[in-house]
Amino acid sequence: MHLYFIPYMSNQFTLDELELEYPIIYGVSTALRHIRLGFEIECHPDFLVEFYEDVEGYLDKSAHASFLITYLEDQTQFLAIRNKGTKSLFYPRYKKVDYLLCAIGDEELNPEIIKLFAKLKGISLCFALDKPQQREILNFSQLQ
C-alpha cells in the first residue's frame, strides 16, 4: 500500500487580485472634541446622532470612536469615524483629516448631506477623499 500526498489547492486570492469597491469617503477637519462634534451634529434639525461602538481597524485592531448619523430627510445612515484611534489612523494617507464620513452599505452619500455637514458649527472642511487603494479599503469594507 502506497500513500501519496496530494497538496490541497485552495482558491485563495491575493490582495492585488481581489478588487474591492467602496462608496466615496469624505474627510472632515475640525478642532472640536469628539463629544462636542456629536452635540453640534445633533443640534442640526436634519440629523439624528447616536454614539456607535468603536470601529476597529482591519489589521491593527486600533479602536476608533464613531457616531451613527441618520439623515432624517431620506433615512440614510452613515458613520462619522474618528481617524485617530488608540493605535493608528483609520485612513493613514490622510493624517490631517480628523473624521471620515462613510456610507453604510454600497450607496453613495446624498450630496445634500455633505453640504449640510460642511456648514455645521466647528467644521473647517468637508471634502471627498481620493479613492482608497486596495490595501487601505480593507478598513472600510468591514463597515458594510
Q: State residue 1's pLDDT score.
A: 46
Asked if the model's pLDDT at residue 4 lies above 50, the reply is no
Grid cell locating 50: 447616536
Q: State residue 82's pLDDT score.
A: 95
pLDDT tens per residue across span 58-113: 777 789 999 999 999 999 999 999 999 999 998 888 999 999 999 887 788 999 99
pLDDT tens per residue across span 116-136: 999 999 999 999 998 877 666
Q: Break the chain into its structural domains and give their ranges.
A: 28-141
